[in-house]
């Protein structure tokens, strides 16, 4: 496809450079077309270079950029031609207008509700509020998998500090932790210190070439695990654990509790807001019923 007023080289460079949000700025039959930026016009509607923003993937060469652009342009042309044909031949235009209006109404209400909730809620609640809900609903927070706290090290077998790390990783002492912190960058392939956060035991074991057949039994009997292969030594220390089926630790489910409470508050707020709107409308006689109804029971 040859694009008017744009050489192939310029077209390629321009398309690769495009970035940002798709603007959807189409011209119409009454607007003057900017031929410097225009790519194609169909029935008075114009597709501009700026309309291709984010359509062309980044990191591809000029040739692939042109192919992607031309594919999108052809799709756009087909849509415009099909729309023109449909406008002339569709039978139930009133039904389409009704659907468009319903969608516009729903979208407007949704957008306004989002705006209200954003202004009303900060998505943050105090720990006291979260803990109260957590403690009152412990049965809702049962673990689906085993959790652990501890540290994990992956050390090259060739390291001359293997014995030091073996000694340090099992110790909770400040000196041991400082020894690991001081030397892990130079001597460790991987170092994960998670004394202060819970991690799935299953997730951790994907990093270690060792199969635990019964995680619960393993955790009850072992505080550490050392495994080696041809290139590395894997050191896992388990400071604390929580078993499947037990109540999940508060800090682990805190984000979940936060989400539950905020969603509840949002739902309650919207319900009260709608109730206030209804009552105000009744007071101002904006609502007229043409049948007998119990207004109070049908709010």
- Please provide the size of the chain in residues: 299
Mean pLDDT of the 244-254 span: 96
- The per-residue pLDDT for 124 is 77
- Strand, coil or helix: what is 156? strand
The 10s digit of each residue's pLDDT in 184-213 is 999 999 999 999 999 999 999 999 999 999
Quote the tokens at residue 37.
């930026």
Mean pLDDT of the 47-56 span: 78
Tell me how many degrees the CA angle 225-229-231 measures, rounded to the nearest 5: 120
Q: How far apart are CA 156 and CA 103, in angstroms?
A: 60
Quote the tokens at residue 38.
């225009």
Q: How far apart are CA 287 and CA 281, in angstroms?
A: 6
The 10s digit of each residue's pLDDT in 119-160 is 888 777 889 999 999 999 999 999 999 999 999 999 999 999
| Structural domains of the chain, with CATH | 8-89 (no CATH), 143-242 (3.10.50)
The 10s digit of each residue's pLDDT in 75-127 is 999 999 999 999 888 888 889 899 999 999 999 999 999 898 888 887 778 89
Half-sphere exposure of 57 (CA within 13 A, CB side): 7
Q: Which residues fall within 8 angstroms of residue 282, CB to CB, at 6 or more apart?
A: 295
Tell me how many degrees the CA angle 189-191-197 measures, rounded to the nearest 5: 155
Q: Band the pLDDT of 48: cuts 50, 70, 90.
A: confident
**What's the helix, strand, coil split of the chain in %, to 5?**
50, 15, 35
The 10s digit of each residue's pLDDT in 203-244 is 999 999 999 999 999 999 999 999 999 999 999 999 999 999
Q: Which residues fall within 8 angstroms of residue 215, CB to CB, at 6 or more apart?
A: 146, 201, 202, 205, 244
The 10s digit of each residue's pLDDT in 164-187 is 999 999 998 999 999 999 999 999
Mean pLDDT of the 36-54 span: 83
Q: Where do the H-state alpha helices sit in the chain? A: 8-17, 62-89, 93-120, 127-136, 162-168, 174-187, 201-205, 215-221, 250-283
């Amino acid at each position: 496809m040859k694009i008017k007023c744009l050489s192939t080289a310029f077209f390629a460079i321009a398309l690769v450079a495009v970035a940002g949000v798709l603007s959807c700025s189409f011209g119409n039959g009454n607007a003057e077309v900017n031929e410097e930026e225009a790519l194609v016009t169909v029935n008075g509607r114009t597709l501009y270079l700026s309309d291709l923003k984010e359509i062309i993937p980044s990191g591809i060469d000029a040739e692939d950029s042109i192919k992607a652009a031309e594919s999108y342009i052809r799709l756009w042309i087909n849509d415009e031609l099909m729309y023109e044909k449909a406008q002339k031949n569709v039978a139930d235009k009133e039904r389409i207008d009704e659907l468009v209006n319903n969608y516009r109404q729903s979208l407007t209400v949704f957008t306004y509700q989002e705006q209200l909730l954003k202004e009303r809620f900060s998505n943050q609640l105090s720990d006291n509020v979260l803990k109260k809900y957590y403690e009152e609903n412990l049965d809702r927070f049962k673990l689906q998998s085993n959790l652990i706290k501890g540290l994990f090290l992956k050390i090259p077998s060739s390291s001359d500090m293997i014995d030091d790390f073996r000694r340090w990783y099992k110790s909770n002492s400040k000196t041991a932790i400082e020894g690991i912190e001081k030397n892990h960058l130079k001597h460790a392939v991987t170092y994960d210190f998670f004394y202060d956060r819970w991690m799935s035991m299953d997730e951790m074991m994907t990093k270690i070439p060792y199969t635990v057949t019964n995680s619960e039994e393993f955790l009850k009997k072992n505080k550490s695990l050392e495994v080696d292969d041809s290139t590395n030594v894997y050191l896992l220390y388990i400071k604390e654990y929580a078993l499947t089926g037990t109540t999940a630790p508060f800090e682990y489910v805190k984000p979940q509790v936060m989400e539950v409470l905020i969603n509840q508050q949002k739902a309650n707020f919207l319900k009260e807001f709608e109730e206030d709107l209804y009552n105000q409308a009744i007071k101002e006689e904006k609502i007229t019923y043409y049948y007998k109804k119990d207004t109070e029971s049908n709010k």
